[in-house]
Amino acid sequence: MTKRCIIIGASHAAAQLSSSLRQEGWDGEILMIGDEPYLPYHRPPLSKTFLAGKKTADDLAIRPAAFYEKNDIQFRQGRVTGINRSQQTLTLSDGETLNYDKLALCMGSRVRKLALPGSELKGVHYLRDIADVEGIKNNLEKDQHAVIIGGGYIGLETAAALRKLGMQVVVLEMAERILQRVTAPELSEFYTRIHTEEGVEIHTGISVSRIAGKKHTEKVICADGTEFPADLVIVGVGILPNTELADKAGIDVENGIIVDEFCRTNDPNIVAAGDCTNHFNKIFNRRIRLESVPNASEQGKSAAASICDASKEYKNLPWFWSDQYDLKLQIAGLSQGYDQVIIRGDKLTSRSFAAFYFKDKKLISADCVNRPQEFMLSKKIIAGNLDINPDRLADDSIAVKALL
């Protein structure tokens, strides 16, 4: 009897896991089930080049259709509504039942929705998948007004893309500064300056009370009575892991599906990878849930190995990136709990600098804007638990290679 591995989700993690399964020697069936009519595709370009019209849906594909055909990886569009672990079956929304020998949960995450009056109006959009961006594209017109609710990375990347397309852009952030949840005040100040110079209007410490319009959005009204004209509203207030299916099936869930260092769940026949998982990170000595492409890809490799009864420990340093205008921000590590920030370069007038986060005299994270060498150095220091002199790190006249 041929064994079957079913992958729920057509995500970054799913793309890597399906490929790695063949590399690890899995010769049984591989079936990937996704709720979109697309093979796995790159999501980061959605708020950048795809929104700007520089890339098509085909350009976003992580691997071409020919790859999946060559490796006998099947794909079908559908939605899984239930997992029966004792019988090792899945139920689809159309009532069909599928058997599995091994199951991989690569379900990713979804946007956090706003429960505001007027949020159902035409012209109000979220940005998570291809269909979302296609809807936004149909709403774009030069010199029209766009209001972005949320000053995180997605909101700011979208603001940059819309400005390039000639729209008038306002960003509304409830916190006291943009990027407050993920970075230091120095980075928030830098990006506020850059976006302001590019013509984006940023308001912080402000909350939206409703979106007004007859059938289509016309304006956004804030709690303090301030009104902003809005031909287009984009909501970017975070994402939520898709864990309900696992939870309902009795798989351990706590801020993500709980996995060990080999991406195994509490069920020996089920692994999980990507945004929907929560793993113990040895570098930071705590459990974390990451929303990043590198994490999804590396966990996909570990999960595939586990399915094939091999051991490939996931112990990678978290890293991320964000593209806005001509700026590439590369982030190494996690900055939560820092007690000192060291700045290298000119953050006040230039478009290139790095911020280093220390905790108990140890480097734990770095935000590097157009500073690829500092980014690579930071990854090496944090992953290796190496010591670095903060004063030397702050001295921009010392070559990066001479810092260690």
DSSP string for 33-91: EESSSS--B-SGGGGTTTTTTSS-TGGGBSS-HHHHHHTTEEEEE--EEEEETTTTEEE
Q: Are residues 247 and 229 in the same domain?
A: no
Q: Are residues 188 and 128 in the same domain?
A: yes
Within a domain: 321? no
Q: Are residues 131 and 221 in the same domain?
A: yes
We report the CATH number of the domain holding residue 383 as 3.30.390.30
Q: Are residues 228 and 245 in the same domain?
A: no
We report the CATH number of the domain holding residue 68 as 3.50.50.60
Last residue of a domain, which of 307, 338, 363?
307
Within a domain: 15? yes
**Residue 288 — pLDDT band, cuts 50, 70, 90?**
very high
Within a domain: 174? yes
Q: What pLDDT is attached to residue 139?
A: 83
**Residue 317 — pLDDT band, cuts 50, 70, 90?**
very high
| CA distances (Å), origin 298, targets 79, 95, 290 | 25, 33, 12
Within a domain: 66? yes
Within a domain: 117? no
pLDDT digits (tens, 9 = 90+) for 18-48: 999 999 999 999 999 999 999 999 999 999 8
Burial of 261 (0-12, 13-18, 19+ CB in 10 A): middle
Q: What pLDDT is attached to residue 53?
A: 87
Q: Are residues 244 and 269 in the same domain?
A: yes
pLDDT digits (tens, 9 = 90+) for 268-281: 999 999 999 999 99
Within a domain: 150? yes
Q: Are residues 98 and 12 in the same domain?
A: yes
Structural domain count of the chain: 3
Q: Are residues 231 and 247 in the same domain?
A: no
Q: What pLDDT is attached to residue 52?
A: 87
Q: Are residues 213 and 245 in the same domain?
A: no
* CA gap 66, 34 in Å, rounded: 18
Within a domain: 361? yes
112, 102, 57: which is closest to 272 by C-alpha? 102
| Mean pLDDT (whole number) for 351-364 | 97
Within a domain: 319? no
In single-letter form, the type of residue at position 292 comes to: S
Q: Are residues 19 and 102 in the same domain?
A: yes
Q: Are residues 11 and 87 in the same domain?
A: yes
348, 296, 339, 338: which is closest to 320 by C-alpha? 296
**Structure pTM?**
0.95
Q: Are residues 190 and 129 in the same domain?
A: yes
Q: What pLDDT is attached to residue 138?
A: 87
Burial of 268 (0-12, 13-18, 19+ CB in 10 A): exposed
Write out the two tokens for 208: 């939206």
Q: Are residues 282 and 332 in the same domain?
A: no
287 lies in which domain range?
Answer: 4-110+240-307
Last residue of a domain, which of 217, 235, 253?
235
* CA gap 185, 265 in Å, rounded: 38
pLDDT digits (tens, 9 = 90+) for 51-62: 988 899 999 999
Last residue of a domain, which of 235, 262, 292?
235
